[in-house]
Amino acid sequence: MKHLIAPSVLAADFGNLQRDIEMLNQSAAEWIHVDVMDGLFVPNISFGFPVMETLRKHAGKPLDVHLMITDPDRYVERFAQAGASVITVHYEACTHLHRTIEAIQGAGCRAGVALNPHTPVQLLQDILPMLDLVLIMSVNPGFGGQKFIPNTYKKIAELCRLPGAKDSLIIEVDGGVDSGNIAALRKAGAHAFVAGSAVFSAPDPAAMIAELNQIASIAFDVQV
């Protein structure tokens, strides 16, 4: 499966959000990653529907919504209506994950499940055949700009070996992804790469997205 880059708007300049979205529209990014935090599931609050509204209005690419919220079932329908293409919920935040996945897909979106660094991929075994995406967190969720956790490589490889996944299952990795680890992550088996600070702290964010895209595309040819 082809790789894709999903820059996270959490690291964008909110004073110039429209400008940053335009940059993403013109860039090699395939998706736009939207981090929603409720201050309960994670110790941080990011943004909600008003920002989704702006994104829907200006973004020309699919919105990949990462819900770091407790009981996400309460908001699945609204995020779908607000323009999400992918809705990812946390394994740790759902009591009835099977029902939640059905609700996301029933609302016309692709459904993903995110795993915190401490959550083993094997816990997904019984639900894997339903999933469109698994998001492996490579930092503890809640903040951008954190250090990448190397155990992620092992988790991606283990997930690839789990039976029952759809051929189209997308393995996404999120947290501390940059030009130094994206090739190894791609080789480990990941397809979708979220990058916040690596992109928006770069002097030329669009050039950094192109660089990440390029490295991922030749990952299998390079020694890592």
Ligand X SMILES: O=C(CO)[C@@H](O)[C@H](O)COP(=O)(O)O
Q: Note whether 66 binds Fe ion by CB under 5 A.
A: yes
Write out the catalytic residue numbers. Answer: 35, 174
Residue whose pair of structure tokens reads 């200006």 in the numeric block: 58
- H/E stretch holding 215 reads helix 205-217
Query: In the stretch 35-64, what mask flags binding to Fe ion with x, by CB under 5 A?
Result: x-----------------------------
Instruction: For residues 155 and 166, give the distance between their C-alpha atoms in angstroms, rounded to a whole number.
Output: 18
Instruction: For residues 52 and 83, give the distance between their C-alpha atoms in angstroms, rounded to a whole number.
Output: 7
Question: Which residue of this chain has its Cβ atom nearest to ligand X in the complex?
Answer: 196
- Residue 190 contact among ligand X, Fe ion, none, beta carbon within 5 to 8 Å by kind: none
Judge whether 35 is annotated as a binding position: yes
Across the beta sheet with 192-195, the strand order is 4-7, 192-195, 170-174, 133-137, 110-115, 84-90, 63-68, 32-37
Judge whether 142 is annotated as a binding position: yes
- Residue 139 contact among ligand X, Fe ion, none, beta carbon within 5 to 8 Å by kind: ligand X
Structure tokens at 24: 């993403």
Nearer to ligand X, 102 or 179 (CB): 179
- Residue 3 contact among ligand X, Fe ion, none, beta carbon within 5 to 8 Å by kind: none
Task: Write out the residues near ligand X by the rule CB under 6 A.
Answer: 8, 10-11, 33, 35, 66, 68, 139, 141-146, 174-177, 194-198
Residue whose pair of structure tokens reads 């293409």 in the numeric block: 85
- 100 close to 72: Cβ distance less than 8 angstroms: yes
213: left (phi over 0), alpha (psi -120 to 50) or beta: alpha
Judge whether 180 is annotated as a binding position: no
Q: How far is the CB of 178 from ligand X (least distance, A)?
A: 8
Residue whose pair of structure tokens reads 């400008």 in the numeric block: 19
Residues 120-179 that bind Fe ion (CB under 5 A): 174
- Residue 11 contact among ligand X, Fe ion, none, beta carbon within 5 to 8 Å by kind: ligand X
State the binding site for substrate.
8, 66, 142-145, 174-176, 196-197
State the binding site for a divalent metal cation.
33, 35, 66, 174
